Structure 1
Amino acid sequence: MAKKAKTHFECQACGYISPQYLGRCPNCGTWNEMMEVKEQVESARNSRVDLTGKQAKPQTLGEVTTSKTPRVKTRMDELNRVLGGGVVPGSLVLIGGDPGIGKSTLLLQVSQQLHLSGGKVLYVSGEESAEQIKMRAERLTVEGNDFYVYPETDMSLIRQTIETLKPDYVIIDSIQTMMQPEITSASGSVSQVRETTAELMKIAKSNQIAIFIVGHVTKEGALAGPRMLEHMVDTVLYFEGDRHHTFRILRAVKNRFGSTNEIGIFEMQERGLVEVTNPSEVFLEERLDGATGSAIVVSMEGSRPILAEVQALVSPTLFGNARRTATGLDYNRVTLIMAVLEKRAGLLLQNQDAYLKAAGGVKLDEPAIDLAIAMSIASSYKDRGTDASECFIGEIGLTGEIRRVNRIDHRVKEAQKLGFKKVYVPVNNLHGWEPPTDIEVVGVSTLSEALKRVFG
């Protein structure tokens, strides 16, 4: 009598495993997402074996060298910065973003640059045919003899192709379309995504092949599939922006080879993505002179200082509770600063609706933006504009003090480079460095002092 295959039930939203069917997942709370999955027998193929058949062995830390794995720089400085200095051989990079945002376009352009640097590239697509990829490549002027296109979704065939071609770089577009033939669940399921990513990770680490994976996102903006997907890869990048506008932001949220605070700015043009070398000008180019409720802040995104405009609209509320909204800013930070303004600076804001945003689509989330938020709120409340040549840097404490921030010299130099004449900084940041000569650096110790200096 044949032995019955063992099965279990797996939540397609979070990966929770149960021996029996459940209508509601006890882990994530979603309904009707439990699917029956046949259990797979673990085999020796799970050990780390490279394409030559050699198996990994223990080594002392002194025996391991990194000289054989130098970073490979692309011709996109913005991408190099986000990756931490370039592409690391053997790394597994996951890129997520909304449909139509430009993920495939970015990777197709990167593939050509990696090919031109002397590497062999294999572009695996489960969503487009070879003809469709060719049409897009012609529009982007992408070509090359060592640039291979492979429309396939079967992971066993993809592994055989990698063994045959021995590429230096592999692009998987997208991970949700790839399938392990021995797993019975549909493509895009938790089991398929987890096992496929594990297979790609072993190929990357064992053979020093840099692999880029495209990931779909949910309606909430998070990467689709199990949360384990982000833990398995080396780097997670989010490609953000509005597909109806031209500017795109590439943001690192996880990076084992560099900082997670770096961003890269791109502009979508007819022939593909073009990097924006001076994003501060982009964020400030549409600012109105003399407008109320506007303040400029110098924010640090990783190692890069960026000038951005913080806008506020404060108006009397018509109903019981005042309304507060924030776009591109942390809501809790905004409400905290408004409470400090009311308590320490005497601004009656409890009966005022307040709407705040970071102009240009950038997201600001660091303590140094507090003073600019406070100034934009006060400017709208008093109906008096701030000087167009002034910018603000500083963290606000609950007692109304302006606290020091990091890398003040880089921030002030960026403001000076863009033509600003005056910058307000915490008074404790005035020591230990030499300010530029053609910009006035004003130190303030309290929020009340800053308001008095700006608005009189």
Structure 2
Amino acid sequence: MAKSAIRYICTSCGAVSLKYSGKCFACQSWGTLEESAIEEPLAGKTSTDNVLPASETLQHPGNSVSQQRISTGIGELDRVLGGGLMPASAILIGGEPGIGKSTLMLQLARHTSPLNILYVSGEESPSQIRDRAKRLSIISNDLKLVPEVNLEKIIGVIERDQPDIVIIDSIQTLYSGEYKSSAGTITQIRECTSELIRSAKSRNFILLVIGHITKTGSLAGPKTLEHMVDTVLQFEGEGYQWYRMIRSVKNRFGPTNEIGVFRMDEKGLEEVKNPSEFFISGRSTGVPGNSVLAAIEGSRAVLVEVQALVSKTNYPMPQRISSGVDLKRITIILAVLEKRLGIPTWGQDVFIKVAGGLKLVEPASDLAVAAAVASGVSNTALSPGMVCAGEIGLSGELRAISDGERRIREAAHLGFDTIILPEANTRELKTSIRKLPVTVTGCNSLQEALNHMHL
């Protein structure tokens, strides 16, 4: 029988410690170490099977990845996944409560019919799931509901029914009888996920796992959970908004940071075919503090509005609050504006917001943020037909960014007449790009870019 040992696992980075500490020794996070019972194998026990696994070469015959994919029937979800579902893959879906995770899974089940689908629910009864399916007009005889939280029983049902797709809602509700800890603990989450993935790989079914998130927005449970699965999808947006975004945080079979945009209504999640029109719809032109960014999200260009509100502070320490942009990057941009361009922000509260709830992670958003702040400080509005993108260096220079031509095409497609980019991105533009009805202006520095914006 295996021997149990107590270890302390960091929920932020997954590091294991022999003793408790207030701060993780690996990632320096405070209060993230949680007690976990780890089963240690008996000495001398290596394997119960002496048969060595077969080895294969890269030229081993078989279907390509693209040929094996199964479409979800939802275009935006297929885009995020890289073309569809891969057999024997494990996909983790995380998001706020009520944001639409279970709804998306039910819609996926409808579109993937007549595949044999097993929906394991530890949070809702079959009658509750049927009521939601009825509200969404989902009728499928290929969807089997299993209200169960015991892992061993779930594996037994999988072996009996031989499903093509297994949906777990949610992993935090499952427990294995082999471990004494309760459901939702690090040990239970890790071991239940590991056993389900092992079953998916051996029986060649697609595993879709719904996961809860913490108050900080990260997936609940050990960090190793994200390493174990093949794909991690994260819902973005607020539960009270109509629009939802799904981002691929990790994808072994496709691109990362790809996003799909949906609109939530009484019929469920509906695809938004043109995200740019959504992100810049309803924007106020002629208002100081607003700029439009030509961003790249995954494989497509998206135009988003960046808003900045700059006001005199009433506190000894000015406030820096951001929604959609990393606060550390905001601090760097404000420092460059003050040191290199003489734009004072030390006595000002600065609030940054990305309209639509999108989270900007690429450095190319620097110029749009700086332009919005400079516009707010000078109380001068930018031209309504202007778009920008560029990374700002600490010396105030503009550095080259990726996919400049794709950004230009998207700006021209939506009727903008001017786009400001780093000079390095405008030197060798294709003839087809130069013929577009948009003026492309290259700048070497932030100061030069703001001058073109009349700030």
What TM-score, normalized by structure 1, do the two folds share?
0.89
Alignment of 1:311 with 2:307, yes or no, is yes
Question: Structure 2: how far apart are the matches of 1:47 and 1:90?
Answer: 25
Alignment of 1:287 with 2:286, yes or no, is no
Who is 1:222 aligned against?
Answer: 218
Give the secondary structure class of the aligned counterpart of 2:112: helix
Residue type at the aligned position of 1:232: M
Question: Structure 1: how far apart are the matches of 2:121 and 2:140?
Answer: 17
Residue type at the aligned position of 1:240: E
Q: Which runs of 4+ in 1 moved over 4 A?
A: 10-19, 21-33, 35-48
Mean CA deviation greater in 375-384 or 433-442: 433-442
Could you say if the C-alpha distance between residues 328 and 212 of structure 1 is closer, same or farther in structure 2, counting changes exceeding 3 Å? same
Could you say if the C-alpha distance between residues 352 and 166 of structure 1 is closer, same or farther in structure 2, counting changes exceeding 3 Å? same
1:394-426 Cα shifts (integer Å, max 9, x gaps): 222222222221111110111111111111122
Question: Structure 1: how far apart are the matches of 2:32 and 2:376?
Answer: 46
CA shift, 1:165, in A, is 1.6
Residue type at the aligned position of 1:372: A
Who is 1:273 aligned against?
Answer: 269
Give the secondary structure class of the aligned counterpart of 2:421: strand
Could you say if the C-alpha distance between residues 45 and 161 of structure 1 is closer, same or farther in structure 2, counting changes exceeding 3 Å? farther
Given the alignment, which residue of 339, 343, 367 partners 1:371? Answer: 367
1:241-298 Cα shifts (integer Å, max 9, x gaps): 2111111111111111111111111111001111111111111112112100001010
1:19-54 Cα shifts (integer Å, max 9, x gaps): 8x9697976764995366776779999989xxxxx9
Who is 2:59 aligned against?
Answer: 62
Who is 2:99 aligned against?
Answer: 101
Who is 1:325 aligned against?
Answer: 321
8 Å CA contact 1:175, 1:197 repeated in 2: yes
Question: Structure 2: how far apart are the matches of 1:124 and 1:162?
Answer: 10
Who is 1:51 aligned against?
Answer: none
Question: Structure 1: how far apart are the matches of 2:46 and 2:148?
Answer: 22
Mean CA deviation greater in 145-154 or 267-276: 145-154
Give the secondary structure class of the aligned counterpart of 1:360: coil
CA shift, 1:111, in A, is 1.2
RMSD in angstroms over aligned alpha carbons?
Answer: 2.9
Could you say if the C-alpha distance between residues 23 and 385 of structure 1 is closer, same or farther in structure 2, counting changes exceeding 3 Å? closer
Give the secondary structure class of the aligned counterpart of 2:245: strand
Who is 1:446 aligned against?
Answer: 445
Mean CA deviation greater in 137-146 or 65-74: 65-74
Question: Structure 2: how far apart are the matches of 1:186 and 1:64?
Answer: 45
Residue type at the aligned position of 1:65: G
8 Å CA contact 2:290, 2:375 repeated in 1: yes
8 Å CA contact 1:8, 1:18 repeated in 2: no
8 Å CA contact 2:292, 2:388 repeated in 1: yes
Report percent identity of matched pairs.
43
Mean CA deviation greater in 27-36 or 213-222: 27-36
CA shift, 1:141, in A, is 1.2
Question: Structure 2: how far apart are the matches of 1:136 and 1:301?
Answer: 32
Could you say if the C-alpha distance between residues 254 and 317 of structure 1 is closer, same or farther in structure 2, counting changes exceeding 3 Å? same
Question: Structure 2: how far apart are the matches of 1:188 and 1:43?
Answer: 32
Who is 1:342 aligned against?
Answer: 338
Residue type at the aligned position of 1:171: I
Given the alignment, which residue of 164, 172, 177 partners 1:176? Answer: 172
Question: Structure 1: how far apart are the matches of 2:375 and 2:437?
Answer: 26
Question: Structure 2: how far apart are the matches of 1:43 and 1:201?
Answer: 27
Alignment of 1:91 with 2:92, yes or no, is no
Residue type at the aligned position of 1:95: I
Question: Structure 1: how far apart are the matches of 2:23 and 2:407?
Answer: 48
Residue type at the aligned position of 1:78: E
Alignment of 1:432 with 2:429, yes or no, is yes
Who is 1:422 aligned against?
Answer: 418
8 Å CA contact 1:424, 1:441 repeated in 2: yes
8 Å CA contact 1:253, 1:261 repeated in 2: yes
Structure 1 unaligned spans of 5+: 49-53
8 Å CA contact 1:23, 1:33 repeated in 2: no
Could you say if the C-alpha distance between residues 429 and 126 of structure 1 is closer, same or farther in structure 2, counting changes exceeding 3 Å? same
8 Å CA contact 2:10, 2:32 repeated in 1: no
Give the secondary structure class of the aligned counterpart of 1:79: helix
Could you say if the C-alpha distance between residues 202 and 224 of structure 1 is closer, same or farther in structure 2, counting changes exceeding 3 Å? same
Question: Structure 1: how far apart are the matches of 2:430 and 2:194?
Answer: 49
Residue type at the aligned position of 2:204: Q
8 Å CA contact 1:12, 1:189 repeated in 2: no
8 Å CA contact 1:37, 1:184 repeated in 2: no
Question: Structure 2: how far apart are the matches of 1:304 and 1:43?
Answer: 54
Given the alignment, which residue of 378, 383, 390 partners 1:387? Answer: 383
CA shift, 1:16, in A, is 7.5
Give the secondary structure class of the aligned counterpart of 1:353: strand
8 Å CA contact 1:38, 1:184 repeated in 2: no
Residue type at the aligned position of 2:178: E
Give the secondary structure class of the aligned counterpart of 2:166: strand
CA shift, 1:326, in A, is 1.8
Could you say if the C-alpha distance between residues 31 and 66 of structure 1 is closer, same or farther in structure 2, counting changes exceeding 3 Å? closer
Question: Structure 1: how far apart are the matches of 2:46 and 2:74?
Answer: 38
Who is 1:355 aligned against?
Answer: 351
Who is 2:145 aligned against?
Answer: 149
Residue type at the aligned position of 2:440: V
Could you say if the C-alpha distance between residues 248 and 320 of structure 1 is closer, same or farther in structure 2, counting changes exceeding 3 Å? same
8 Å CA contact 1:427, 1:443 repeated in 2: yes
Residue type at the aligned position of 1:66: N
Could you say if the C-alpha distance between residues 60 and 47 of structure 1 is closer, same or farther in structure 2, counting changes exceeding 3 Å? farther
Who is 2:258 aligned against?
Answer: 262
After superposition, residues 100-179 of structure 1 pair within 5 angstroms as: 100-115=98-113, 118-179=114-175
Give the secondary structure class of the aligned counterpart of 2:284: coil
CA shift, 1:62, in A, is 2.8
8 Å CA contact 2:237, 2:358 repeated in 1: no
Give the secondary structure class of the aligned counterpart of 1:310: strand
Mean CA deviation greater in 164-173 or 349-358: 349-358
1:351-406 Cα shifts (integer Å, max 9, x gaps): 32222111111111212112211111111111110111111122222222222211
Question: Structure 1: how far apart are the matches of 2:317 and 2:403?
Answer: 39
Question: Structure 2: how far apart are the matches of 1:253 and 1:128?
Answer: 27
What TM-score, normalized by structure 2, do the two folds share?
0.90
